[in-house]
Structure 1
Amino acid sequence: MFEQLLNASLVILSLAMLGCLYRLLKGPSMPDRIAALDAIGINLLAVVAVLCVQYRTQTYMDTILVIGILTFIGTTAFARYMERGKVIEHGNDESAR
């Protein structure tokens, strides 16, 4: 029963990733595409977590952490680019003084 639930969750997560992939490719605006990319990263993280439970291993826990960190950094960088037009600002920084 538990194996069937894990398999069903993998199918549902895969369908969610396909829906997000559609939104990533056809999104009407850039913020929609950024949100879809973030959702794909979170769904990928969930798939790896379900596989860890299904195979009864802790081998990929580091992979889950790396996916989470990269998803967060990528979303933050895209949002900053959308807001300011630059990811890293050079030059005069008034807050550093």
Structure 2
Amino acid sequence: MLLVLIRLIKGPTLYDRVLAGNAFGTHTVLLIGVVGFLTGRPDFLDIALLYALINFVGTIAILKFFRYRAIGDALWTPKQEEPKE
């Protein structure tokens, strides 16, 4: 998980950082599930599933924001400047 955190901080590109954040979330979900199994607490599985859902939705929202520069409107397209002569 330390290598994933280093990739999250250093990059080199934005998409590498998003992928590292998603990988960190996935590792966290697995860790919560294993801890719940080892301690005999099945309610940890619910927490892990909720965290996985939040991780997925957050990743999609971040990628959508960086692509369209907006989150709310799905049909919004960025304005393109007309070439100046």
Place the TM-score, normalised by the shorter chain, in its bin: 0.7 to 0.9
Equivalent of 1:70, from 50, 54, 76?
Answer: 54
**Aligned Cα root-mean-square deviation (Å):** 1.7
TM-score, normalisation: structure 2: 0.81
Question: Once the two structures are superposed, what CA deviation does each residue of 1:62-82 show, in whole Å capped at 9, x if it has no partner?
Answer: 211110111000110011012
SS in 1 for 2:2: helix
- Aligned pairs, number: 76
Residue in 2 aligned with 1:14?
A: none
Choose which of 35, 46, 59 in structure 2 pairs with 1:51. 35
- Aligned with residue 83 of structure 1, among 48, 67, 70: 67
Deviations 1:9-38 (A, max 9, x none): xxxxxxxx2111100100111111000000
Larger RCO (CA within 8 A; separation ≥ 6): 1
Q: Unmatched 5+ residue regions in structure 1?
A: 1-16, 93-97
- Work out the percentage of aligned pairs sharing the same amino acid: 26
More helix by share: 1
Amino acid at match of 1:30: L
Q: In structure 2, list runs of 5 or more residues that go unmatched.
A: 77-85
Tell me the TM-score normalized by structure 1: 0.72
